[in-house]
Structure 1
Amino acid sequence: MNEYKSEKVIIVEGKSDKKKIAQILRDPVEIICTNGTVSIQKIEEIVDEFDLFHKEVYILADADYAGEKLRKQFKKELPNAIHIYIDKMFREVANTPDYYLALALLSKNFNVNPKFLIQ
């Protein structure tokens, strides 16, 4: 179950994405892994389990076909979710340089560790 309760939730595809994001953030934020593309039923389970209708939800998926598919699935279930995008040249969240990821998170009002804002 969850270690802490947070009003902000970031949904990512993989564990390496979660680890990378967690090191950049300064505040505790729930980070949920989908482990890739999931069914609508699995998305509904995630929404219910983490009570996502009552939280600020952010989707941070890879800039590839699977990531776009995941975004579309969540747009149907959580139309108010805010999407955070990475540049297509990086393709994967895990491969995105820390600096660019920190800027993307900062642009959505996340508190990031300033050491990641130095290029």
Structure 2
Amino acid sequence: MWEEELNKVLIVEGTSDKRKVESIIREPLEIICTNGTLSLTRLDELVDSLYDKDVYILVDADEAGEKLRGLFKREFPEAQHLYIDKMYREVANAPTYHLASILLSANIDVDARFIPI
């Protein structure tokens, strides 16, 4: 059971996004920060290293996030894309209950305190 969970990877843009997600999840999950940009070389390395893992992309609902999402759609079409509501614009600014719902819908275990009733 744990082996499957350890194979989950979430890709976010920044460290504030990572901290926000870490405060919500309840399972071992690797979280990778792109720091907003990725060179094609780094993207290729990342795709190669994630070949056999369940990969989730959670980026901001802004121009930079959509550009990054587009790169992943082209280079890593197997990844599952998670979307925040555009009204929040940034993952770090989205309410925890909103992020918890998004993560839960992707079968990522979240702290029950953040699940809206």
| TM norm structure 1 | 0.90
> Counterpart of 1:112?
110
Alpha-carbon distance between aligned partners in 1 of 2:104 and 2:116, rounded to the nearest angstrom: 13
> Counterpart of 1:29?
29
- Runs of 5+ consecutive residues of structure 1 not aligned to the other structure: none
Alpha-carbon distance between aligned partners in 2 of 1:95 and 1:44, rounded to the nearest angstrom: 29
Q: Secondary structure at the match of 2:87?
A: coil
Q: How many equivalent pairs are there?
A: 113
Q: Secondary structure at the match of 1:17?
A: helix
| TM norm structure 2 | 0.91
Alpha-carbon distance between aligned partners in 2 of 1:93 and 1:75, rounded to the nearest angstrom: 19
After TM superposition, where is structure 1 displaced by more than 4 Å over at least 4 residues in a row? none
> Counterpart of 1:82?
80
Match of 1:78, as an amino acid? F
> Counterpart of 1:94?
92
Match of 2:80, as an amino acid? I
| Residue pair 1:37, 1:69 contacting (<8 A) in 2 also | no
CA displacement at 1:39 relative to structure 2: 2.0
Q: Secondary structure at the match of 1:53?
A: coil
CA displacement at 1:40 relative to structure 2: 1.6
Pairing of 1:46-61 with structure 2 (within 5 A): 46-48=46-48, 51-61=49-59
Alpha-carbon distance between aligned partners in 2 of 1:64 and 1:118, rounded to the nearest angstrom: 25
Match of 1:67, as an amino acid? G
- Runs of 5+ consecutive residues of structure 2 not aligned to the other structure: none
Q: Percent identity?
A: 58
**Structure 1 residue 13 corresponds to structure 2 residue 9:** no
